[in-house]
Amino acid sequence: MEPAPEVVASQLEWTHIPSTHSYQLLVGNQHFATLAWQKGSGSIAAAESSEGRWTLKRRGFLWPGVTVRSVATRQDLAVLRAQWRESTIQTADGRVFRWARSGFKDPTWKVTDSAGKEMLSFEPRRRGRHLEGCAVASSPEAGSDPALLLLLILGWYFIVIAWVEEHHDVTGAIGATLGAA
């Protein structure tokens, strides 16, 4: 894997790795990170890049959230708190980002900074009920933000989990969502 990307907005993309429960983050044709579920069900996933390894886990029911934890230090690096109107991502250094879907019927999700400036926009691609991947657009400022890779991984994880809950039995049909053989 390559070091963290110098982001060019039109080149960021999450793509499904065939016959797996995994996605890879590409910038152009360079591989920067992987997000993988160990089972065909459940919410625990692992992410890996040249910057480290993390585990991600969904928690909660009425007010769900996602925790990202470093494998090396066993410290939480970020928490996404999903709420009806105002979802947030808080990093270990105290920074807060807003996480929101663009609209009820619009599948696009956005990350904005504390000043309200859009940093990332995730536009999922699907084939039937299978989630193929996601195009990600970023602002020029996002490319130099130290939280960029964490936001990319956490955002995509949340979208996949939300897709499972919206399109499949909530018991965790990750395999059906990813179309793994």
Question: What digits encode the pLDDT tens for the residues 39-87?
Answer: 766 789 999 998 899 999 988 766 678 999 999 999 999 999 987 767 9
Alpha helices (H) in 55-130, listed in sequence order: none
Tokens of 9: 């907005």
| Average model confidence (pLDDT) across the chain | 83
Q: Is the pLDDT of residue 91 over 90?
A: yes
Give the pLDDT score at 29: 83
Q: How far apart are CA 20 and CA 178, in angstroms?
A: 8
Give the pLDDT score at 96: 96
pLDDT 10s digits, 142-180: 877 889 999 999 999 999 988 887 766 544 445 444 444
Enter the pTM of the model. 0.84
How long a stretch of residues is the chain?
Answer: 181
Give how many domains the chain has, as a whole number.
1
Does residue 1 form part of some domain?
no
Give the pLDDT score at 175: 47
Domain CATH number, residue 173: 2.40.160
CA distances from 131 to 8, 28, 42, 105, 169 (A): 23, 20, 16, 16, 15
Does residue 100 form part of some domain?
yes
The pLDDT > 90 percentage for the chain reads 49
Does residue 96 form part of some domain?
yes
Does residue 4 form part of some domain?
no
Structural domain range at position 117: 9-178
Write the single-letter amino acid at 10. S
Does residue 2 form part of some domain?
no
Tokens of 166: 């919206």
Alpha helices (H) in 20-147, listed in sequence order: none
* Contact assessment for residue 70 and residue 150, using Cβ atoms and an 8 Å cutoff: no
Does residue 3 form part of some domain?
no
Give the pLDDT score at 60: 72
Does residue 14 form part of some domain?
yes
